[in-house]
Structures are given as structure tokens and as C-alpha cells.
Amino acid sequence: MHTHSVISAFIIPSTDSLKEQQAQCDSAVVDIWTELACDNPDALNADLAGSQRDFGYCLSQLDQHEEAARVVHIAADIYTKLAHDDPDGFNTSLASTQYLLGHIYNWLERYEEAARAAQDAVDVYMRLARDDMHTYDAALAVS
């Protein structure tokens, strides 16, 4: 039994190792979407924002909160512009990104910024809930 656990340690990566591998993959995806979005921002900025948000979440799981805040803030800026032009298409993504940003700021003990980001998420969720209370009532409750 002891031999099996030693062998497993070499075969099965640790959770931290998996998180680091995920962060490396997400970073590569962000680089690709950034390059592609430069050529065609109207078509690809949503993908860039999503990859930025995912990368930021991954960084936060690795306790790299400063970098996570920077990356998720970029995603929130992109989603803000997209939601301005297409609220139905991007307000949900904007709200969830602002919610994540609020949590990251809270981990950094940047409480005023955390409160602003959380309030921005609540404001968007409230607008969404006015149109579709059943879908967004739970999201608003946890915000």
C-alpha cells in the first residue's frame, strides 16, 4: 500500500500542480486571443474577455491575487464596452466578472474597490432580474 502511494505521487500531479498547469494554459489562450482580437476586435473581444476572466480566476486560485486583479479588471473593461453595445448578450458576463473582481479585491484587502465591484455586479444583476426574475433571482441573492 505504501509503495502504491509513492508511485501515485509521481504519476498523479498534485492539485497545486494542476492549477499551475491550468494557469499556463490559460495564459497561452489569453495570448492567442489577444493577438487575434487585435486583427478583428469586434468579432473576438468577447472571447478575449472570457479567457482573461478564466485566467484571472486561475491566478486567484494560485494566490496570485495582484495579477488576478489586473487580468480580471481587463476582462471587466472589455465586457463593459461589449455590454454597452449589446446588453442582452453581455450583461451576464459583465456581472459575473465584476463579482469575481470584487472577491479578488477582498482577498487583497482592497475593501473599497471590492465594494465598488460588488455593487457594480449587483446593479447589473438587478437590471437583469427586472427582465427575467426567475433566472437572475439566485444570482442576485448571492451577490
Q: Can you tell me which residue has the cell 466578472?
A: 97
Q: Per-residue pLDDT tens for 124-133? A: 988 888 876 6
Confidence of residue 136 (pLDDT cuts 50, 70, 90): low
- By the 8 A CB rule, do 53 and 77 touch? no
- Better-predicted residue by pLDDT, 69 or 29: 69
Rounded Cα gap, residues 97 and 104, in angstroms:
11
- Measured N-to-C along each axis, helices 133-142 and 111-131 cross at an angle, to the nearest 10 degrees, of 160
Q: Can you tell me which residue has the cell 501515485?
A: 8
- State the pTM of this model: 0.72
Look over the chain and give the mean of its residue pLDDT values, rounded to a whole number: 78
